[in-house]
Structure 1
Amino acid sequence: MNPTKREAPLTFTVCKYGSFLFTRAVGISARSALQEQVEAAAPVAMLIIDFAGTDAMTNSFTDEFLGKFYVSLAAGDVNADGVQLVGLNEETRDAVAVCLERRKQFAVDGDAHILIGDAEVLAETYERARSLGTFRTAALADALQVSLPNANNRLKRLVEAGALRRERTAVPERGGKEFTYSLP
């Protein structure tokens, strides 16, 4: 039996751990609570991690909380189609960017609708995907003027980070797999 996907966004509030977040221990506690909340509500269409009320975070907290969470997300251990970070201020956005750049990861800033972290090549791809809405790989490849394998590689990374949703379409006559992509 397939559980029904939760269509309403699931929000995790970070400030309940304090306005200034530091230490790996606090990061572990927050990440564990986040993962438990997602597991209890899974499957989740959109997870919103809300940083409103959090004034600052150390690199150690951010890496333990968000860096390791995004590793789990990319590995498929988190049952959420999309993830957005909201309520970031300049201090917290910088901590997130440093953490994700070091781990070669990225996240969606849900307020600014941009990618944060290691997303230099993917920023243009994400922006083009947002403008296309719902699309197939060939449409994105044409829009970016890149090869299909290049577009597929970019899309894979965006899906792993929860920036895009991928749904399998009917099997094409020529065989193989075909997917439709959209914003979560």
Structure 2
Amino acid sequence: MKPTKDKLSSRFTVRDRGTFLFTRDDGASTRTALETHVRACGSASLLIIDFTGVTAMTNSFTDEFLGKFYLSLAAGDSGVAGVHLVGLDEETRDAVAVCLERRKQIAVDGDKGLLLGDVTLLADTYEHARQLRSFRATSLAEAMGVSPSNANNRLKRLVEAGALKRERTTGPDGGGKEFVYTLPGASRDE
């Protein structure tokens, strides 16, 4: 499978691995193919994992493929700034949601702009982030009416899942380290 990439994104097509994906071994080989794809594409703002044409996935396949990929993403081992899952139908979306809920992970449904998985506190945070588009943690905390430390904790999980990207900047007074958060694939100036 040849990697496809433009300046902002790269696309991994899961359908190339089959339409019904069911074993843990298949999940491991698909994750290996995804990791190879990511290395071949180099750095892109957004990795798109495309499930179009996949009709079903078992929980064991999904856990081995996505669950473990999101572990490496959270650890910062993948070199990916952001991830969107696209082309999910009701069946495959349910498999992804179950996997992520069990692992206490989250992912972005790129077609719907919603979080999947363990989204108890983060769905509202992600929606505010989407509305703000480019912001500092203090701006998000103010918009949500939560403490800055609460906002930082939520933002950390969204960054680990590839739902947001974070860039270091200097504080407004010229000192201290601060971060600006944006949606993957979007520039800070949009």
Regarding TM over 0.5, the answer is yes
Do the aligned residues in 2 keep the contact of 1:169 with 1:179 (CA within 8 Å)? Answer: yes
- 2:134 match: secondary structure: coil
Residues paired across the two proteins, number: 180
Separation (CA, whole Å) in 1 of partners of 2:136 and 2:177: 11
Do the aligned residues in 1 keep the contact of 2:70 with 2:161 (CA within 8 Å)? Answer: yes
* TM-score of the aligned structures, taking structure 1 as reference length: 0.94
Separation (CA, whole Å) in 1 of partners of 2:173 and 2:84: 36
1:84 aligned partner: 84
Separation (CA, whole Å) in 1 of partners of 2:129 and 2:7: 21
2:181 aligned partner: 181
Separation (CA, whole Å) in 1 of partners of 2:96 and 2:90: 10
Do the aligned residues in 1 keep the contact of 2:170 with 2:176 (CA within 8 Å)? Answer: no
Do the aligned residues in 1 keep the contact of 2:83 with 2:162 (CA within 8 Å)? Answer: yes
Separation (CA, whole Å) in 2 of partners of 1:36 and 1:171: 37
2:57 aligned partner: 57
1:136 aligned partner: 136
- 1:81 match: secondary structure: coil
What amino acid sits opposite 2:74 in the alignment? Answer: A
Please state how far the C-alpha of 1:17 moved relative to its aligned partner.
1.1
Q: 2:50 aligned with 1:45, yes or no? A: no
2:120 aligned partner: 120
Q: 2:153 aligned with 1:150, yes or no? A: no
Do the aligned residues in 2 keep the contact of 1:22 with 1:57 (CA within 8 Å)? Answer: yes
What amino acid sits opposite 2:123 in the alignment? Answer: A
2:110 aligned partner: 110
What amino acid sits opposite 1:71 in the alignment? Answer: L
Separation (CA, whole Å) in 1 of partners of 2:19 and 2:25: 16
Separation (CA, whole Å) in 2 of partners of 1:90 and 1:52: 12
Separation (CA, whole Å) in 2 of partners of 1:147 and 1:170: 21
* TM-score of the aligned structures, taking structure 2 as reference length: 0.91
Please state how far the C-alpha of 1:60 moved relative to its aligned partner.
0.3
Q: Deviations over 1:84-120 (max 9, x none)?
A: 0000000000000000000000100000000000011
2:13 aligned partner: 13
Any unmatched runs of 5+ in structure 2? 1-5, 185-190
Do the aligned residues in 2 keep the contact of 1:7 with 1:46 (CA within 8 Å)? Answer: no
1:170 aligned partner: 170
Separation (CA, whole Å) in 1 of partners of 2:124 and 2:148: 16
Please state how far the C-alpha of 1:43 moved relative to its aligned partner.
1.4
Sequence identity percentage? 65
- 2:77 match: secondary structure: coil
What amino acid sits opposite 2:13 in the alignment? Answer: T
Separation (CA, whole Å) in 2 of partners of 1:169 and 1:151: 18
- 1:150 match: secondary structure: helix
Do the aligned residues in 2 keep the contact of 1:31 with 1:66 (CA within 8 Å)? Answer: yes
Do the aligned residues in 1 keep the contact of 2:67 with 2:100 (CA within 8 Å)? Answer: yes
Any unmatched runs of 5+ in structure 1? 1-5
